[in-house]
Amino acid sequence: MHYWDMPDHARALSERALELIRECKSAPTPPHYELWFNYASGLNQELIEALNDAVQQGHASDPAFMRDLHMRFFGGNLTTAIDDMGEKLQQELHKFVQVLEDAGQDTASYGKTLNVAAQQLSSGDVNQFKAVVQSLVAATRAIETKHKAIETELKSSSNEIKSLRQRLESIREESRVDALTGLVNRRGFDEQIASAVREADADRSDLCLLIGDVDFFKRFNDTWGHATGDQVLRLVAQCFKANTKGRDMAARYGGEEFVVALPQTTYTNALTVAEQIRVAVESKKIIKRSTGETLGSITLSLGVAKYVVGETIEATLERADACLYAAKRSGRNRVVGEDALAATEGKLHSRA
């Protein structure tokens, strides 16, 4: 929708957004405004439900909760932030270069002054001696003052560039992390798995992947609301974190799906890790924070596959995904590895 073509409608949505911010006692920040403006537009049903849940649970005035919610729906704005920081860095570098060029011009000018003075002194005219010395002293003091100013400018510019680079790296890191769970997101996973594949290809070491998906998550989400659904995803993420270590990489791959890369891990050990995660999730109880009500347990289905040297990582992920869905079809809350996939599929066909 092009709001610039509908100024009256945009104005009405803006007024409604500000009204909602006041009602919920949220800080009138740009991210909060973006959330409530889109809520008022009525175009994103998932966002509407999430904000309704936030109001109902009393989280709409919680800055941390609302920040997570903003990242969930508008996390792509990190790209804009990276572009802005990159532009500022370019500007500062240009300023740095300009200071150096100016310093070079000042030095050249000082050199000319010295040449003129040398010529005047070589003439042997004693009457000019005092004037030449005074001119040299004045020029020397001027260049010293100028260089001190330049040194200060260069130091300031250098510090600013360092700060911008650190902030830019921080933003880039944020863009690789899922705001809701704190795990690596899909972008971060795709970047890091490429390095793991290169290592496995180079030294023929083991590399396994497992994919896990929360069972009946949509039903749970629809019944108890998105706020509780987000609580479930955080809990599941904690189970993945607690049961992976060292060079293992757990990521939220999308929605309620999680993936783990296990470098230098045998297939048998990967199955063990998957089972530990499954048991950990099953053992947790979901408590509704607003009422203290126990909502029961959740379960996880997982698939495990081993990377084959020379294949694409997409091929390994496809096999792990096929194992995951075999686990779903055979009853959920279980781990299926690729060695058992054929047997599992055979049993299902025999029942049909």
Contact 117, 140 (CB under 8 A): no
Cα atoms in the 13 Å half-sphere on the side-chain side of 253: 18
Q: What is the CA radius of gyration of the chain?
A: 32
Q: Closest Cα to residue 211, out of 338, 349, 331?
A: 338
Q: Closest Cα to residue 220, out of 240, 235, 209, 208?
A: 235
Strand locations in 52-91, DSSP E?
none
Single out the catalytic residue among 23, 153, 256, 345.
256
Instruction: Say whether 314 is catalytic.
Output: no
Surface-to-core class of residue 167, CB atoms within 10 Å of its CB (0-12 exposed, 13-18 middle, 19+ buried): middle
* Cα dihedral 181→186→189→191 (10° resolution): -140
Number of H helices, E strands in the chain: 12, 7
Could you give phi then psi for residue 39, rounded to 5 degrees? -60, -50
Q: What angle do CA 346, 351, 352 make, to 5 degrees?
A: 100
Strand locations in the chain, DSSP E?
207-214, 249-254, 257-263, 285-287, 294-297, 300-306, 335-337
In the 8-state DSSP scheme, what is residue 240?
H
Strand 335-337 to 300-306 pairing: parallel
Task: Give the pair of three-digit tokens for residue 82.
Answer: 């990276």
Question: Which residues are identified as catalytic?
Answer: 256
